[in-house]
């Protein structure tokens, strides 16, 4: 029985060695640190979803007429509709015999945040009110993520150094680095509750210009690093 137990222990030990990360076998003394770097980023590019249909005008104005008016209104704001406006969806639903209501949805890309309020106001004046913010982003996102990646790794090394000093050791080279995909989320605060809420409250019933207040985006990069202890 004793011999069986010893054999079983040897098998388990062998399995544990095989399951161990080869890099950890090469560096038996190491410290593993996880760190995150965050930054609040202001969006500088907005994608709007604009929907027009005959039902809103009770059939008096066709979708084609509304489309022409919309394009003219956007061009008056200096927007190059041939580059930044595209049809994203189109459908026709039969309401009565020989009568159909056509709906078209467009995506509009704006490279100036200040234009968002102007677009809402201009389209509201011609009867187009179904406008939603589809996406906000920053065109420098790749560079921002790279900067945060460097910052997160530097933070990881600083933390590893702090722990090593507590053991009277020093931090050597990194032999393992793992990073998650960058996370982007919106940041809410009391003064800035988002452009959708702002426009919903105004409801375009006054001639005052609409104030554009886009939520900040929080960009986060997470890393996990293993350093040799010397």
Least confident span in 83-87, 141-145, 185-189: 185-189
Q: Which of 92, 107, 137 is the last residue of a domain?
A: 137
pLDDT > 50? residue 222 = yes
Question: What pLDDT shows up at residue 22?
Answer: 61
pLDDT > 60? residue 192 = no
Question: What pLDDT shows up at residue 213?
Answer: 67
Same domain, 68 and 153: no
Confidence label for 216 from pLDDT (cuts 50, 70 and 90): confident
Distance CA 179, CA 152 (A): 9
Same domain, 145 and 224: yes
For the segment 19-24, the average pLDDT, to the nearest whole number, is 57
Query: Is position 229 within any domain?
Result: yes
CATH number, domain containing residue 65 = 3.30.70.120
Mean pLDDT of the chain: 77
Q: Which of 92, 111, 137 is the last residue of a domain?
A: 137
Same domain, 99 and 173: no
Question: What pLDDT shows up at residue 209?
Answer: 47
Percentage of the chain exceeding pLDDT 70: 68
pLDDT one-digit tens code per residue, 78-89: 999 999 999 887
Same domain, 143 and 31: yes
Least confident span in 31-35, 47-51, 201-205: 201-205
pLDDT > 50? residue 13 = no
Same domain, 37 and 55: no
pLDDT > 80? residue 57 = no
For the segment 191-200, the average pLDDT, to the nearest whole number, is 40
Q: Which domain holds residue 145?
A: 25-42+139-194+211-230
Number of structural domains, the chain? Answer: 2
Question: What pLDDT shows up at residue 189?
Answer: 40
Q: Which of 112, 137, 162 is the last residue of a domain?
A: 137
Same domain, 35 and 72: no
Same domain, 91 and 154: no
Same domain, 144 and 133: no
Question: What pLDDT shows up at residue 20?
Answer: 54
pLDDT one-digit tens code per residue, 92-128: 654 444 555 578 899 999 999 889 989 999 999 998 8
Question: What pLDDT shows up at residue 75?
Answer: 95
């Amino acid at each position: 029985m004793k011999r069986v137990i010893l054999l079983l222990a040897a098998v388990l030990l062998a399995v544990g060695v095989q399951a161990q990360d080869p890099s950890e076998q090469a560096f038996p003394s190491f410290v593993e640190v996880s760190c995150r770097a965050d930054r609040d980023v202001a969006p500088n590019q907005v994608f709007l979803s604009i929907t027009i249909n005959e039902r809103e005008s009770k059939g008096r104005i066709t979708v084609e007429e509304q489309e022409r008016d919309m394009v003219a209104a956007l061009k008056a704001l200096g927007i190059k509709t041939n580059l930044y406006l595209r049809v994203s969806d189109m459908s026709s639903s039969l309401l009565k015999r020989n009568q159909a209501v056509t709906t078209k949805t467009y995506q509009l890309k704006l490279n100036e945040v200040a234009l968002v309020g102007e677009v809402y106001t201009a389209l509201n004046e011609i009867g187009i009110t179904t406008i939603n913010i589809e996406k906000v982003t920053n065109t420098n996102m790749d560079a921002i993520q790279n900067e945060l990646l460097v910052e997160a790794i530097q933070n990881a090394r600083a933390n590893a150094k702090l722990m090593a000093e507590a053991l009277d050791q020093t931090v050597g080279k990194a032999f393992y680095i793992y990073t998650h995909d960058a996370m982007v989320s919106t940041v809410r605060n009391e003064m800035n509750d988002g452009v959708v809420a702002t426009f919903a409250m105004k409801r375009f019933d006054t001639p005052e210009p609409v104030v554009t207040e886009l939520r900040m985006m929080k960009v986060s990069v997470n890393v996990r690093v293993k350093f040799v202890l010397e």
